[in-house]
Structures are given as C-alpha cells and as structure tokens.
Structure 1
Amino acid sequence: MSKLISILMVALFVLSSDLSAGIFEGRIIGRDGEPIEGVNIHTNISSLYAKSDHDGKFSLDTGDEQIAHMTFSHVSFQPYMMQIKVGMSTTDLLITLDPAVYPGQKIRVTAMRAKVGQTPVAFSDFTDEDIERDYTVADFPILLETTPNMYAFSYTGGAAGASDYKIRGFDSKRIGTYINGIPLNDPEDRFTYFYDLADFAAEVEDIQVQRGVGNSLYGDATFGGSINIASSGLNRDRRISVSTGYGRYYCNGDYVSEMRKQAVEFSSGLIEGRWSLAGRYSKMYSGGFREHAWYDGWAYFLSLSRLDPNMTTIVNVYGGPMKAHLAFNGIDRATENANRRANWSDYDNEIDDFNQPHYELHNTYKLNEKMTLKNTLYYIRGKGYYEQYKSDRDIVEYNISTESLVDENMAEIDLVRQKWVAKNQYGWNPTLEYDHERGTAFLGGAFYYFDSEHWGQVIWAENVSDNLDPRHRYYEYFGKKISASVYAMDYYSLTERLKLMGNLQFRFLRYEFDQTPLGALPGHDYDINWTFLSPRAGITYLPTENSDVHLSFAVASREPADVSIYDAEEITAFPNLAIEDYDVTPGGDTVYSFGDPLVDPERVYNFELGGNIRSDRYRAGLNLFWMEFKNEIIPEGDLDDDGQPRLGNADRSMHAGIEFDGSFVPHRYLTVSGNISYNYNRLKDYTIYKDTDWDGVADDTVDYSDNTTPLFPEYIGNLMFDFKKAPFRLTYRLRAVGKQYTENGQIDDLAIGDYMVSAISGSISLGKFAGLGRLTLSARVDNLFNAKYELSGYAYEWDGVWYGEYYPAAERNFYAQIKWEFE
C-alpha cells in the first residue's frame, strides 16, 4: 500500500509550462450572478496574491513575475484554478465559482447530500459550527443524539467508548454510515464501530443525517436512515492549534474516573495556489462511568490535496489503535440499586484491542461545463481481538482433547480466550454528474471486495498439560464478499416550483464462506449470490420561495446478516441453508452441498410526506412516515456468549410516526431550536415457537402480534437555547425520552422508564493572547441536575421467568478544554 501511495504522490507533481506576467483584473460571481466578496486569489508565487472587494472585483499586478496559474478560493465556494496562457486577455476576466455549501444549510455540496426544496427526504444538517459547539470526547452517536428521532446510548454510561444508536426504531446495522462517501459499516456484521476512530469528529467539516430509506448512491441498502460525514477539504485556512482537555465522572457526589485528551493540528492553507496539507494527532482516554469501562486510543489524520485546472485530487489517511475494556453486559435492578457502576466483566484484561487504518483517494474532474466525473478509491485494513475470561467451559467447545488435560475427569475448566479478526476492504465509487436544462442526472456505482479471517484461540486454561499450544485455535473460518451496485438518479424540474426525483439501483452481492475443520466444528463451506433492485421516486412542490412540500416512496432490500445464516463459532450451530446433497466420508463425517438460504432477505416499503417553511428568523419542518417491513430481525431476548442480542424474525412489522423540527431567532444573539418525534412501531405479525422440554420439537407458541417493537422510545424531544455574542457562547440543552420496552411482551416492570436530562456548555475566545495566538476556553456539564436513569438494556427468559438487565447512565460529569490557535 505504501508503494501505491508513493506512486500517487509522484503522479500529482505534474506542473504546467505556460507562464505570463502583467496586471490581471476581473470580477468574481456565483452561479446566481451575484458578486462574491472576500475571495482569496493565489498564484504559484506565494508573494503574489489578492482578494475580491464588495463588488467581487479584483486586481493583481504581477510586475515582471511570470505566473502559471491563479487560484480562487472562498470558504463557501469550490476552489477554482485558472491556467495562465501566453497571449490570453488579462482584463475584464469573469470568474464563476460553484457553491461548496448549500445556501441556508451550511454543509458541503455532494451528490450524497439532500438539498432543501429539491430532495424529497427528511434530513438534518450538523454544520461545522454545531460540531465546534457540541463536540468534546463523545463518539459520533452521542454527538448526533439531538438530531430528530435518533436515540443514542453508551454501554459505558459515559461519552466515550462503545456506543450505539437507532433511528426510527431501526438499529445501527440498518443505518448506513459513510465518511466521504465510503461505507463505514462492517461488511460482515454491519455494525459501525465508531470508537475505532478516536477523536475523528475533530476532523469533520459537517454531517448530514437522512431518515428513512437511503438513496441509491450509497451502494448498500439502508432502512432507518443514513449518516454522511464529510472531513475537511481544500478550504482549510492556514493554522496550527494545540488543545488539551480534562473531565471527571461522579457517582453519588464522589469522583470515580476521569477523561482527558490532547491534540495538535495543522493546516497549510493553499500553497502556491495549488497544494494543501493538513494533519492531526490526538490522544484520548476515558475511565468511563461504569466500573472496568475505560477507553484508551490515539488517532492520526493526514490529508494532501492538489488543485489543477478542472480537477481536484485529495488523499486522506487516518486511523489509530485503540483499547477498551468490555462493558456489553448490563446489570439487574437489585445490583443497580446497590451499585449503579457495576460491570460483571471484571477480568482485568477483558478488552477490545483493534486498529483500523483508512486510505482514501478522491478525484474530481470537470469534463466540461455540464459533466463532472468523480472517482473514489479506498482501502480499509482492520485487525484485532477481544479477550475474555470464561469459567466452567466444556473442553469440547474449545477443541481441547482429554489427552491435553492433567486431570482427565475434569472436563469443564476455566480459561482465557481471544477472538481475532483480520480483514481487508478494497473499493471504488465512480460517479458521473450531468447538468441538463431541467436539473442534474447521476450515473454511477459502488464496488468493493472484502476478505476476512476469523479465529479463536485459548491463551490460558486450567488443568491443561504443556502439550497444548500456547495459541491453541478452537475455530477458524474465512469469508469473502464481492459487492457491485450501479444506479441512475435524476433531479428533474417540471417547472420552477415542481420538481421530480427518481432513482433506480441494481445490486449484486456474492458471499463465499470456508470453515476449517477443528474439533467439533465440521468445516462447512458455501457460496451465496444475491441480487436486489431498489427503486425510489419523489416529488417536491414549492408553494413559495421559502416553503416546500414533498412526497416520496422507496423500496429497499437487504440480505440476511452472516450470523443469521451460520454462527461459525458455535459447535451446535448448523447453516441455515437448503441442503442440495451430502456425502459421507470414509471417516464417517458428513459433507454437505448447500443451496439457497432458508431465511428471506429483509425488505421495507417507505412512504414519506413532509414540508418545510423558512425565513431569515425561523425554520420549521414536519414529516410523516410509514414503513412496512417484511422479515424484520428484532431482539428476541437474552444475549449470546459474546454479549450480543439474540435475534428473531418478524413476518411483518411497521414503523410509523411524525417528526417536527424547527428553530427561531428571537434576538440576534439567541437561537432557540428543537425537535420532537412520536413513533408508532409495532410487530404486526410475529409468533415464536418454543421448545420447553428441550426435546428438539416446538411444543409452545407465543404470539407477539400488535405489540410494541422493543428498545426504542415512543417519543423523543430536544430543546436547545444557544446564546452567541463574541467572544462568549452559552448553550443549554434539554432532552426528553419516552418509555422503552426491553422485550416483545410489553412487561411494564422490565421496561426502561421515561426520563428528562439537560446539559450546559460555554466557551470564551480571548482573541490574540499575549500576541501569540487565539486562546479559547470551553467547558461542558452533562446531566446537569444529576438525574439517575437507564439508557438501554435487554431482557431474557429463564425457566419460565423473565429478567431484565440495564445500562445505567452517567451521573453529573464535566469536561473542560483549552485550545490555542496560531494563524
């Protein structure tokens, strides 16, 4: 990979040979014809630069110096490079810049982003100002929890460490997360492991959260929504910053653990009007609110950009190793009443140790005034393990023979195991954009190849002799996935006030699985192919320039999760596949030839109706949704041996509701914003079959039809007061969350109660401190009034009785930071 990066870096250093000198004068406008003030004009000679005035006019006298190009950059517009050719006119130049952010939205323009008044979907923007206001050390789910109809929680109780989130009742496996258009969801289990990217939010320019079925540009199917994260690009200003922060968690008024973070960041700005180099290094630690719930990680981010006439190229490299103590097991309420911080995972080295670097190459080439070709190449490498202490385990489960035991009559032993994974993902996302008279059309695709190796090893065990390998493997399997999707999408304006949107995606996925025979694991192998067709159509009507109404319908389908086909680490599991043939070997082993899966793909039908109104002082949006779900996989109760929920299929379920969000500026220094969502999530057709006497035959049924889907609140509300008057900023947040059932039977005693919690944050910028740079002090207090509540949990049945276990939220805690910036 390093050789590839070196070749790309060398290829970027191709210079133009045309040179010219003189006085360059002209005017800079946007696509709407309005002049642009404050555009920076750079040349390949760093001492020669200018800036546009109020009328967009500029003048640059190069004297006897010969320049090869001029670059025009502005924070709200895409940078443009003009090549200087001998004999060209140097006066009355008219430069037109394309917007880099959507007007009124303050987020970067990309094909994946929804636009107000054009895209018929429900969405929310999280701008760079919002990130600067809200981000401390929290994972992305906690950072984004104030967006409409999103519920986020942390297993550790605090801001950092393992966290999860849901939108409209759909878990994170059904929500697509993308960084610069590149999928972050794991191709195998579909989880989004945000805590593998420590402090990455500090490098983010903006985020857009779309709710409902995602559009076809994402490649993989998304049901509940999609999160599109854009890292900072060419528009960075030149600066260096150093920051350090410290915080504490408290329980019953006593200090229990700390948070700390140090970071250094730099950005070159545009060098010679062409190059930009930026980077960040940070180290972060959180002790967590719960016991044995610490997180320790460091992160790096490097970005090299080059601007050429009609072309932009960006290379990003980021990642960083992390370690975290596991805290996926909840606690019962008796334990919670005695010690809210309890964590049964108390083995000292019960940790997750992982490293996942990302490599990205983005190229945008403007073919002509109407057509733009964009290509993204990426590589993601992940490797790591988690370690657990297990007691009284059957030696058969861990491929340990009786010959390896000191006492052969002791068949159940204590041991320490590690579960490893090494994986590679190679991808290519091409997109062709065409601006036609009535709108914009897109033709593109998303392709990736993924391979992985999984193995489990016993690193210590009692009652074993020296002949057992110190890295004894008890399971091993390999997976490969090839995903290819192509799509077409068009935004078409019938009139100035009536706009259509339609897209169609075809997706092919091949999954190859190969298990190594080890002990009681037989060594199955199979290949599966899936094809999906996902249509989407919508219409947007603009009654006035400041209002819109939209209606849309979409269908999305997705293959079953790998583990629902076969749990390759469980000795009693068998592939959930049709058996086409089998053969018995001379040794008595049965080798199967498998066909199609016996579990159907999930499919959702999504109807949306919404509208927005806006002015200079207020904005309001209302959205209604109805989502019919076939074969939804939902929590069935209990956790498996890895702390993950056991799942079941509902033949039919429904997710419906109403979402409102808005903001109001009663005073130029004060903004009041908020949102509220009501959800009607129901299991419409769901019956489970139980084997109560363990004879392998179902002898009882439980009908959960028309019950509430568990683990999502009926309502979620957020209210925010944001006061900003330089150099001060003060923000108060209030969050209200409804009751959540932990199982499908709606047992009130096991439900998570509703709660209301608030936070306050503030900052002060001291300007030039001691003449050396700008100093900013900031602080945040979460759970301001020290409420004691539960974030999430699960329930399970044992011997006919249901039990619940929960993840308590952190009590009052604070974090403070000092940041020193030099320009």
Structure 2
Amino acid sequence: MKKLFISACLLFGIQAFSQTTQFNDTTKVETLDEVLLKAVRVEATSPVTHSNVSKEEIEERNLGQDLPILLNYLPAVVTTSDAGAGVGYTGIRVRGSDASRVSITINGIPYNDAESQGTFWVNLPDFASSVESLQLQRGVGTSSNGSGAFGASINILSDAVSEEASAQVSNSYGSFETWKHTAKFSTGLLKDNFEFSGRLSKITSDGYVDRATSDLKSYFLQGVYKTKNTQIKALTFGGKEITYQSWYGVDATTLENDRTYNLAGIQFDSEGNFEGFYNNQVDDYSQDHFQVLASYKFNNLWSANISLNYTHGRGYFEEYIDEWYEQNVNFSGNANLSFYGIDPVEIGGETIETSDLIRRRWLNNNFYAVNADVNYKNNHLDILGGLFYSYYGGDHFGEVIWARFAGDSDLGDRYYNGNGDKNEFTSFVKATYKVNNEWSFFADFQGRFVSYRASGLTSDVIPLNEKRTYNFFNPKAGVSFQLDTSNSFYASYGRAHREPRRSDFEQGVFTAEKLDDYELGWRFLSEKIQLNSNVYFMDYKDQLVLTGALDDVGAPIRATSGKSYRLGLEVDATVAISNKWSVRPNIAVSTNKNVDFITSKDGELINLGNTNISFSPTLIAGNILEFRPSENFQIALLSKYVGEQYMGNIDSEASILDAYFLNDFSVNYTLKNVSFLDSIVLSGLVNNIFNTEYVSNGYFYTYDDDFSNPGTITTIEGAGYYPQSGINFMAGVTLNF
C-alpha cells in the first residue's frame, strides 16, 4: 500500500524543476548576460544533460532556506541540513556526488573552495535573492574553469540589469524562530546607460537540532554600465555567518530517543558529572567577493568577455575541549597540554599535564581569478575559446584562547601553522557546428594545469609538506539530431580529471581521479508536454569515494576506490493538464558500484567484489503538482522520494540510511497595484506535511579492536545520523515598490 501511495503521488504530484519552466524559444537574441556565461552554460538543444531554473521559480519558495534546499526537486538531487531545517550548513549531492565534486560557478567564476573543493553556501546567506538564473548540468557537463565536475556543475548568474527603478522589502517567519529580512533596490537604467542595485539580508534561526543556531548576514551591491554592445559590471557580495556547531550527529539509540540531541560543547566536572554546554561552540566566518565582468559585442558575429575576481575569507571554529570527556570517552590527546606546546604545570607538588581549554582553529585565505574568452557565431558555427588563471593562498592555524591550566603560554600562541598555495591555468576551445536543421555537432577541448603546495602542520599537529603538479587534458564531444518538430536526440562523451584536496593529502592520497562520461538522451516537445530523458554511464578510475567517516572538523574523509562506475536513467517532464493545472515528475534510477573493492576486516585484507558506492541511492524521484486558479494565485504540492543508500563502501547493514518520502506544500498570492505599492506577495510553505521522521545524511566508521582480546583483531563498526525536522512552516510578505 505504501509503495502504491508513493507511486500515485509521484505520478500525479509535482512540478519539480525541470529542463525549463516554459518551453524555450531558441531563436531569441542573446543578451549580454547570456554572452557572459557562454563558457559555462549550454543551450536547450545541446548534447549536454541539464536543467534550467529561473528567478521566478526560486522566488516562489525563497523564505529563508539555503539555495541547495531550494534545488531539492531537481532530477537526481539529494539535499541535507546539519541543523535539520535548511538554514545554516546545508549540502547537495547530484548523481551520488557530494558538493566537493559538484563544480559551482558564479558569473563564470569558480565558487568551490580551491583547497577543500567544498561549497559552503552558509558563507553566502540568502544569495538566492540575488540569483537571476542558474543551470544544473549533470555529468561532466561543459564547465571550462575550476575543478572538474564529477557529478554535476551548477552555473549561477547573479542579478541582471533592471530597466526600471524598483525596491523590495521581504520578511518571513517560521518554525524554530526562523526569521529572514531582505531589502533590495535598483535605480533602473539612468540616462539609458547606468544602473545601481543592491541587497541586504539577515537570517536567524534556532535550528531543529539543539542549539544549532544560525546568525547570518549578507550583502550584494552592483554597478552597471551598459550600451547596445557593451556591458561592464562591478559587483561585490559576501556574508558573515555565526553558526553553533551541529555536525556531530547522533547514534542509533539517541536517534530513537532524542532526535534533536547535540553533543557539541558538552562539559563535565572532574568527576565526570554533566555540567552543561559551552555557549560559544561556534563556526564564525566571513567571506567577501569582488568581481568585474565586461562583455562586448563587436558585431553580430564576434563578442568577447573578461572577468576579474578577488575573494577573501577568514574565520574560525571555536571549541570547548573538556578534559574529562577527552580522557575518558574520546581517549584522545586533545586535552593534553603538550599537544598545544604548553609545558606541564606544577601545583602543590602535582604535575598537571591535561586541562579543560578553549581553542580556535583559523582559516584565512585569498583567491584571485581572471577569465577571458572570445566567441564567433554565425548561422552554422558557434566557436568559443578562452583562458583562465587563478591563485589561491590559504593559512591554517590554531590557538588556545583559554585554559584552566595555561602554564607559561601567552594568548595568541599558535600550536599549529600550515599553508596552502594553489595555481591553476586553464585553456579551452569549444565549438558547435550546425550542419542543417537536423544535425549539429559539438566539440570541447580543455587543458588544465594545476600546481598545489601544502606545508606546515595540520590541525592534528602532524607535518604536511607536499608539492604536486597535475596536468589534465579533458576532451568532450557530442551530436544532436532533430528528427521532427517534437523529437530530438543527443549523444555525448566527456572526460574529466580532478586533483586531490588538502584533506586527501593528509590521508596520504595524491592520485588524481579520472572520469569518462557517456550520455544518450531523447527530448520530446509538444504543445502540452515537454519530456527529457537520458541514460548515462560514468566510468571512473581512482575515484575518491566518501568512506563515510569524518575528520576532526566534520568534513568527509575520502579514499581511492580503484575502478568504479555509475549507470543510470533520468526522466523529467512538464505536462500542462489544463490552463490551471500542471504536473512535472522526475525520476532517476541508477546503479553505482565499486569494482573489486578491497578492505581491511578483522586484521586481513579481503576482496568484497562489487560493492555499492557510498551515498548513492538507487532511486530518487520528485514531483510538483501545481494549481494556478488565477494569474496571481499559485498552490503547489512538492514531493520527494530518496531510496535506501549506504554510508560506506563495504555494504554493511550498519551503514544503511533508510529511504524516505517527503511532501511539502507551498502557496503564493499576489495583490497588485495596492496603494503606493506595485504589489504585495504573500507566501507560505509547510515542509514535511506528513511529519515524517527521516534522516538524509550521516556517517559510518570502522576501527580495529586489538585490546579487548589480546592477539585478536576485531573490526568494530559505528554510525551517526543527521535527523531532519518533522512538519515545519515558513510564511512571508514581500512588498514591491
């Protein structure tokens, strides 16, 4: 019965973000903003599997949750939230690949952290309010700079030029004391050439998980000079986030009895009696971006772009290290004074070697990038060539800001200090040749050259001195065939390489990954139906799969799996049932395997044969059933099913995350021409309307027990879970001037 109910909802529910909300007119003239993104985006008829999301689609549910949560209903997408309610640290996976393997660009500039390769949306709170459009490309895609896309790429265009002056004030409130305040403005075009616009936002939330609070502030400012053939944008955007740490998760017993429990900051007295939680166990980080984007159309055939970027990030994790807990539960050396370079303390003839203390682990980094390309386009040939260069410099250091027994240490003393420097140079050329109205061919050649040096001490106070150089050649090719006005087909091949990141170096992993991606698709378009379907085969060598375990700052640990693959089918559709009702289902079915996976168990290396790749569900499906009784009124039922998945690569029953099925309900009503306002928009969102208890993410670990029974090694397995909120709501009011 449950399966029947799920199937019915997926068939008759949902308007999940698909290839595009409205059927595309491919004959339209390109705007200068579109010219800017030609290096990273593809057209509707290209042989690349993709989905487009418009500003209007994002606005309908933009009430405070992070951008990944707003993209949850795209095909093959799984999202999660550490705090359990979509505010704070959030994550996205596409085709089983985590955010460090999803290449993100903002205005053509890489957003993934150059060193960790991660994407931290929490550093750009409410950036969704400044997104003009975005494109999700699944598979290798066509991104031309930044780390290679191993699951997908998301290419974001920030706010476009507004012809008319406007102002907007948005406020929303929801469960867990979640507040969002946003103010935007645009001068419109002044003297037909200049526009200035901006946004200020503040989001606060207590979170679903205990003490998983978020205090987020962000800004976006833009100045534009525009003529018929020229557009120059100077923009700056950034954010400041303070979030209470909530990446510890809970074990299975706690999940059953106290889903919202949060271990972070726990405190005990010297006898092991619980005393409470440290109130400033936070992640405190700021990030600022500065971009200059220039586009010029020489004539109807030639255009060029140049982009400059500077990003500065700085902040820290602040942690209370409880001496009793570390010595008696964690069995770690984190409470040892020697770990921090502090000499033992003599008190009353007793030598003190451990202590309660508070530490901060800092990051301070700078990222510079320049990107330039030239485009030639006529009726048959569209060719684009470009160059990209970036430099990243990052400092990692730790300090003790308080200790019960501080010895002769001084405030500001660093107990570890490490550095990372990364240079990247990329050159590419890509071309689409339209033979006739039926056939077109695509080719893309990229050379990517990376030099990375990691030096100094890690946060575990272990020396790390490595310098590696990686040279990659990434060819791509595809063909599109338009059978008739309704049916088109495409086939493509793409290769991608990806270098290890700093945390991989710390694990002794230096081998780059390689991916060969094969895609075959069919698109159908009629007056009332748009259907997109594709099959893919992603063949990996030395894929860095998530082991399931976490490091000491909650980041996933990876290991080389040797040979592995992903094989899948994806289908999404838009069906106009009537002029008021529409339905848009999507489904992704896949098999994701490590080939001849070798692991250590009970002190021996064993070959497990083919095993499931971690965090890769076999079935992901989504829908939105939408009803528009009038132009100003919209109601939608959004549904999402994520199948069972393993958190490790050894097919252990202890590592299974159960399947879950969610339903959200949204409503939007617009009042137009009200007094001195252009409009008032009333929005509501009820998430998880059936109050499903579910877990969207977790971790899995093993360790060898060689002490319980001397002479015998027994592999012990353990798991942690990140519970997500039950039913919760958001409601908002937007005033448009």
TM-score, normalising length: structure 2:
0.88
CA offsets 1:80-131 (integer angstroms, 9 cap, x no match): xxxxxxxxxxxxxxxx9833399xxx999734222122x1111111112211
Q: Give the fraction of aligned pairs with identical amino acids, expressed as a percent.
A: 28
Residue among 160, 182, 185 paired with 1:266: 185
**Whole-angstrom CA distance in 2 between matches of 1:247 and 1:407:** 57
Is the 2:52–2:135 contact (alpha carbons within 8 Å) kept by the matching residues of 1? yes
Residue among 301, 321, 325 paired with 1:370: 301
Aligned equivalent of 1:732? 637
CA offsets 1:411-453 (integer angstroms, 9 cap, x no match): 2332211110111111111010011452200010211111111
Equivalence map 1:277-356=2 (5 Å): 277-346=196-265, 347-356=278-287
Aligned equivalent of 1:40? none
User: Secondary structure of the equivalent of 1:195?
Assistant: helix
User: Secondary structure of the equivalent of 2:223?
Assistant: strand
**Whole-angstrom CA distance in 2 between matches of 1:807 and 1:544:** 49
The offset of 1:639, in angstroms, is: 2.3
Q: 1:77 to 1:235 in 2, by over 3 A?
A: farther
User: Secondary structure of the equivalent of 2:411?
Assistant: coil
Q: 1:407 to 1:756 in 2, by over 3 A?
A: farther
Is the 1:214–1:223 contact (alpha carbons within 8 Å) kept by the matching residues of 2? no
Task: Check if 1:807 corresponds to 2:734.
Answer: no
**Whole-angstrom CA distance in 2 between matches of 1:516 and 1:294:** 31
> Structure 2: which amino acid aligns with 1:291?
D
> Structure 2: which amino acid aligns with 1:420?
W
> Structure 2: which amino acid aligns with 1:411?
E
Residue among 435, 441, 450 paired with 1:494: 435
> Structure 2: which amino acid aligns with 1:793?
G
Residue among 420, 426, 447 paired with 1:485: 426
The offset of 1:482, in angstroms, is: 1.0
Aligned equivalent of 1:629? 540
> Structure 1: which amino acid aligns with 2:729?
F
Task: Check if 1:530 corresponds to 2:476.
Answer: no
CA offsets 1:322-348 (integer angstroms, 9 cap, x no match): 110111111012111211111111432
Q: 1:109 to 1:385 in 2, by over 3 A?
A: closer
Residue among 367, 373, 377 paired with 1:435: 377
Aligned equivalent of 1:82? none
Aligned equivalent of 1:215? 142
RMSD: 2.4
Task: Check if 1:657 corresponds to 2:572.
Answer: no
Aligned equivalent of 1:45? none
Task: Check if 1:197 corresponds to 2:124.
Answer: yes
Task: Check if 1:382 corresponds to 2:313.
Answer: yes
**Whole-angstrom CA distance in 2 between matches of 1:637 and 1:97:** 47
User: Secondary structure of the equivalent of 2:253?
Assistant: helix
> Structure 1: which amino acid aligns with 2:551?
D
Aligned equivalent of 1:70? none
The offset of 1:394, in angstroms, is: 2.5
Is the 1:415–1:460 contact (alpha carbons within 8 Å) kept by the matching residues of 2? yes
> Structure 2: which amino acid aligns with 1:234?
V
User: Secondary structure of the equivalent of 2:236?
Assistant: strand
CA offsets 1:362-405 (integer angstroms, 9 cap, x no match): 10112233111100011101011111122332333222223688
> Structure 1: which amino acid aligns with 2:134?
I
The offset of 1:246, in angstroms, is: 0.6
User: Secondary structure of the equivalent of 1:745?
Assistant: coil
* Greater CA drift, 386-395 or 188-197: 386-395
**Whole-angstrom CA distance in 1 between matches of 2:183 and 2:209:** 29
Aligned equivalent of 1:595? none
| Greater relative contact order structure (CA < 8 Å, 6+ sep) | 2
**Whole-angstrom CA distance in 2 between matches of 1:622 and 1:679:** 14
**Whole-angstrom CA distance in 2 between matches of 1:285 and 1:269:** 31
The offset of 1:525, in angstroms, is: 3.9
> Structure 2: which amino acid aligns with 1:687?
I
Task: Check if 1:549 corresponds to 2:510.
Answer: no
Is the 2:41–2:142 contact (alpha carbons within 8 Å) kept by the matching residues of 1? no
**Whole-angstrom CA distance in 1 between matches of 2:448 and 2:543:** 20
CA offsets 1:257-284 (integer angstroms, 9 cap, x no match): 2100111111111111111111111111
Equivalence map 1:715-794=2 (5 Å): 715-724=619-628, 725-794=630-699
Task: Check if 1:461 corresponds to 2:403.
Answer: yes
Residue among 387, 393, 398 paired with 1:445: 387
Q: 1:377 to 1:653 in 2, by over 3 A?
A: same
Q: 1:755 to 1:526 in 2, by over 3 A?
A: closer
Aligned equivalent of 2:44? 116
Aligned equivalent of 2:104? 177
Aligned equivalent of 1:684? 595
The offset of 1:745, in angstroms, is: 2.6
User: Secondary structure of the equivalent of 2:88?
Assistant: coil
Give the greater-gyration-radius structure (CA): 1
CA offsets 1:4-33 (integer angstroms, 9 cap, x no match): xxxxxxxxxxxxxxxxxxxxxxxxxxxxxx
User: Secondary structure of the equivalent of 2:122?
Assistant: helix
CA offsets 1:118-159 (integer angstroms, 9 cap, x no match): x11111111122112222211121111111001111111111
The offset of 1:487, in angstroms, is: 0.4
The offset of 1:688, in angstroms, is: 2.4
User: Secondary structure of the equivalent of 2:60?
Assistant: helix
Q: 1:546 to 1:116 in 2, by over 3 A?
A: farther
Aligned equivalent of 1:708? 612
Task: Check if 1:507 corresponds to 2:427.
Answer: no
Is the 2:215–2:242 contact (alpha carbons within 8 Å) kept by the matching residues of 1? yes
Is the 1:405–1:464 contact (alpha carbons within 8 Å) kept by the matching residues of 2? no
User: Secondary structure of the equivalent of 1:357?
Assistant: strand
Aligned equivalent of 1:590? none
Aligned equivalent of 1:232? 159
Aligned equivalent of 2:356? 414
Q: 1:101 to 1:684 in 2, by over 3 A?
A: farther
CA offsets 1:59-87 (integer angstroms, 9 cap, x no match): xxxxxxxxxxxxxxxxx999xxxxxxxxx
The offset of 1:503, in angstroms, is: 0.8
User: Secondary structure of the equivalent of 1:557?
Assistant: strand
* Greater CA drift, 131-140 or 421-430: 131-140
**Whole-angstrom CA distance in 2 between matches of 1:139 and 1:319:** 15
The offset of 1:683, in angstroms, is: 0.9
> Structure 2: which amino acid aligns with 1:137?
G
**Whole-angstrom CA distance in 1 between matches of 2:553 and 2:460:** 20
User: Secondary structure of the equivalent of 2:616?
Assistant: coil
Aligned equivalent of 1:147? 74
The offset of 1:408, in angstroms, is: 6.4
* Greater CA drift, 235-244 or 724-733: 235-244
Q: 1:263 to 1:407 in 2, by over 3 A?
A: farther
> Structure 2: which amino acid aligns with 1:260?
W
**Whole-angstrom CA distance in 1 between matches of 2:520 and 2:539:** 15
Is the 1:216–1:534 contact (alpha carbons within 8 Å) kept by the matching residues of 2? no
**Whole-angstrom CA distance in 2 between matches of 1:101 and 1:519:** 49
Q: 1:485 to 1:514 in 2, by over 3 A?
A: same
User: Secondary structure of the equivalent of 2:561?
Assistant: strand
Size of the aligned set, in residue pairs, is: 680
**Whole-angstrom CA distance in 2 between matches of 1:139 and 1:122:** 24
**Whole-angstrom CA distance in 2 between matches of 1:149 and 1:476:** 40
Is the 1:637–1:797 contact (alpha carbons within 8 Å) kept by the matching residues of 2? no
Residue among 722, 733, 737 paired with 1:818: 733
Is the 2:398–2:459 contact (alpha carbons within 8 Å) kept by the matching residues of 1? no
